[in-house]
Amino acid sequence: METKAFLKQVEMFNGLPDDALEAVAALCTVQSFAPGEVIIARNSAPDSFYLVEAGTVEVNTAPDPSTPPADAVMVSLGSGQSFGEMGLVDKGVRSATVTAATAVTVHKIACDAFLDLCEKNPYVGFKVMHNIAADLSFKLRYRNLI
């Protein structure tokens, strides 16, 4: 799938005009992961965030994802959803391990490059940060419903 067309389906980029989507697309690197492969590890540095194009990933907050306690958050994310975006907000270490549940194709975006784009185009920064806040709010509510 063409990157710009994919970005139009990503919740995080809702409301962005075509020229902004083209600028974001220029930052994307496509990567594939096999089932069971760790994409990001808990406590690692937040250097990039990811957009799921195809497949499913599992997000797990357990210190050891291979033996999660009953209260470890396990969320599945699929096409059009993002993960690792909290690194754009606070630069804190990763709070979860994200593993490919199926064969997965993601678009990886370096946090620093994306933040540079947001500084050059404040509208992009405002829209994306608004969309991230809405998505994180949904995820927090979802966790409390489990």
Q: Has residue 51 got a pLDDT over 50?
A: yes
Query: Is 81 part of a structural domain of the chain?
Result: yes
Distances (CA, A) of 119 to 27, 77, 115, 124: 15, 29, 6, 9
Q: Which domain holds residue 76?
A: 3-139
Is position 79 within any domain?
yes
Summarised one tens digit per residue, pLDDT across range 66-80 is 666 666 667 889 999
What local confidence, expressed as pLDDT, does residue 32 receive?
A: 98
Q: Is residue 144 part of a domain?
A: no
Task: State residue 116's pLDDT score.
Answer: 95
The total number of structural domains in the chain stands at 1
CA–CA gap between residue 94 and residue 46 (Å, rounded): 6
What order do you get walking across the sheet with 82-83 strand by strand?
A: 29-33, 104-110, 48-54, 82-83
What CATH number did the domain enclosing 111 receive?
Answer: 2.60.120.10
Residue 146 lies in a domain: no
* pLDDT tens sequence across 91-115: 778 888 999 999 999 999 999 999 9
- DSSP type of residue 13: G
93: in domain: yes
What is the CB neighbour count within 10 angstroms for residue 146? 8
